[in-house]
Amino acid sequence: MKKTLLTMAVLAAVSMPVLAQNVAIVNGKAIPSSRVEALKQQVERSGRPVTPEMMGQIKEELIAREIFMQEARKRGLDATEDYKNQLEMARQSLLIRELFADFQKKNPITDADIKAEYDKFSAANGGKEFRARHILVEKEAEALDLIAQIKKGGSFEELAKKASKDPGSGANGGDLDWAAAGSYVTEFSAAMSKLEKGQMTEAPVKTQFGFHIIRVDDVREAQLPKLDEVKPQITQQLQQQKIAKYQESLRSKAKVQ
């Protein structure tokens, strides 16, 4: 009797850790608990919180997958050429993802990197911004006639709505909203930058699009976002740049015949 109880105790001690290592056993095939953690991490990476209820769903999902996998193997689907090719492609994708994840982990974007990139952005986009309007027409004579009408008291906004061939701004009275001078083509930018608030070009400005009449309604210092507001976007951009350079370095070292 004592021997029997001792044997049962030993078996229980051995079997309990084994059961703890598996989430379920389907037709004699164990599903390791590590798969639960792997699927849980996939869900978390997608941005969804893993609730206790979802943990139960994850377990049921793994059981269903095992049942379906067993049936597929019974039918010999894992031996087909198409399956093998798809499996190899999936294996490559997973391994490449791990490669880049490992690279990012070992080459993190620092606060100094982000600040340097923000300073470059600020230098390139700082300075003045213009709230301008324009009327775009095909012929210089038409532009000269419109300038004459405006000087005689004609409404710039109304003439823009009627005559401008720029459909976007024309419908809004020629309004181009706030923008830096560098946002426009060179000829337009140069002419606009010479105007003070409330001034209009005395002569038509020719560009590749036609002839413009430009009026500056207001001027201000560029309104740049604060570093904290654009930090996530800068971080992502720098990460992508680092990954791209890493990919290029690997390709340049590879011997391809």
Report the pLDDT value the prediction gives residue 47, as an integer from 0 to 100: 85
pLDDT band at 46 (very low <50, low <70, confident <90, very high): confident
Confidence of residue 19 (pLDDT cuts 50, 70, 90): very low
Supply the pLDDT for residue 42.
87
Q: Among 34-38, 118-122, 197-201, which range has the highest average pLDDT?
A: 197-201
Q: What is the pLDDT of residues 67-78, one digit of tens each?
A: 999 999 999 999
Q: What is the pLDDT of residues 158-167, one digit of tens each?
A: 999 999 999 9
Spatial separation of the C-alpha atoms in residues 223 and 205, rounded to whole Å: 27
175-192 pLDDT, tens digit per residue, is 999 998 888 999 999 999
- Among 34-43, 76-85, 129-138, 152-161, the range scoring the smallest mean pLDDT is 34-43
Segment among 86-90, 178-182, 244-248 with least mean pLDDT? 178-182
What global pTM score does this model have?
A: 0.58
Q: Which of 82, 42, 36, 38 is nearest to 60 (CA)?
A: 36
Residue 13: pLDDT band with limits 50, 70, 90: very low
Vertex 125, ends 122 and 131: CA angle to 5°? 135
Across 38-64, average pLDDT: 90
- Residues 159 and 171: their CA atoms lie apart, in Å, by 10
Note whether 240 and 157 are within 8 A (CB).
no
Percent of the chain with pLDDT over 70: 92
State the average pLDDT for the chain.
91
Mean pLDDT of 150-161: 97
Contact 190, 177 (CB under 8 A): no
- What is residue 20's predicted lDDT score, i.e. its pLDDT? 58
Q: Give the separation between CA 110 and CA 187, rounded to whole angstroms.
A: 40
Span 77-99, mean pLDDT?
96
Among residues 219, 205, 235, the alpha carbon closest in space to that of 134 is found at 205
